[in-house]
Amino acid sequence: MFYEYALISVVIACGYWGIYFVRRQPHGTMTFGLMQLGAAALAGLGLLGRKYDDVAALGVAGAIGIGAGVCLLVIGPLVRGLARRFAAAERLGIASRLLDVAELLTPGSGIAEEKAVLGAMKEIRDGRIEETVDALNAAKDRAPAEARLAIDERIALLYLAAYRWTDAIAHAEAHLFPSGDASRPRKAGETPPPEAHAPGSLRAALGVAPPVWVELLGAYGRTGDLDRAARMLAKLEDVCDGREDASLWIHRARMMFLALAGRTGAVRALVAPRRARHMSAAARTYWMAVAHEH
């Protein structure tokens, strides 16, 4: 009976989230959603096999479905969460290896973006900013067109993580934003991002990965260009309207903008534990301090 409950759980959970990720494609690819749908289908075959004991292949399919579902829905997210904890504690080596494992267990779930941020943190800690930027620029010259956007995003993240706001903005305006304006939509004839074939993804709508967009919004705010930051926030809210998967990006963007604008009351409301359960006490204190400073 327990085995049947496990099969039913995988069918329901993987079926629901599989459809969600295939339709929404928040990370610009259907891979994660398709894998969940595959796990749901295999678990469904396993349920069918409970009625036809003479077909051993159905039982094997069910076992594979349960294993895949556990990896996609339980083990992968747990490993990813553990990696974030190690990254917050600056145990970057362990965090990197855990993210590698999580990416293997849940491909296409956006872990590549977290690995890019973690890589930037490691390079900053080792004091290799300029060398890394030069190496990335050299690699970009040899890279295919679909890889150049990711390299430019990595360079921008390096500057952002090193608090080099002006350099990050200059690089983004030269390589990531059309005509240097983040809030302007692309015109006909301008090169779309590689993820343009995934109309439901935030990256396709924004032109860059959501973490890069949000942190660049903060960079504009820190350099005093609150008008540009406000336009970026407005575009992000428009793109993310009705999307539950974008709630964290909306929350962080609003919090950063309001803190850099000195709106202490609004920031206090945003970082309240009931509205920001994902934030640590230290992060709440930091953003309140930023709001008071500005």
Over the stretch 14-50, which tens digit does the pLDDT of each residue have? 999 889 888 877 766 788 889 999 999 999 998 888 7
Position 183 scores a pLDDT of: 55
Residue 272, C-beta contacts closer than 8 angstroms, at least 6 positions apart: none
pLDDT band for position 179 (cuts 50, 70, 90): low
Mean pLDDT score of the chain, rounded to an integer?
83
Could you tell me the pTM of the whole model? 0.63
Please, which pLDDT band fits residue 123 given cuts at 50, 70 and 90? confident
Contact criterion met (CB below 8 Å) for 38 and 19: no
Structure confidence at residue 37 (pLDDT): 92
In the predicted structure, residue 12 carries a pLDDT above the cut 70: yes
pLDDT of residue 107: 87
Q: What percent of the chain has pLDDT over 70?
A: 88
Quick check: 200 pLDDT over 60?
A: no
| Residue 188, pLDDT above cutoff 50 | no
Which region, left, alpha or beta, applies to residue 242 given φ > 0 means left and ψ of -120 to 50 means alpha? left
Looking at per-residue confidence, does 60 or 179 come out higher? 60
Mean pLDDT over residues 278-294, rounded?
Answer: 89
pLDDT at 197 over 70: no
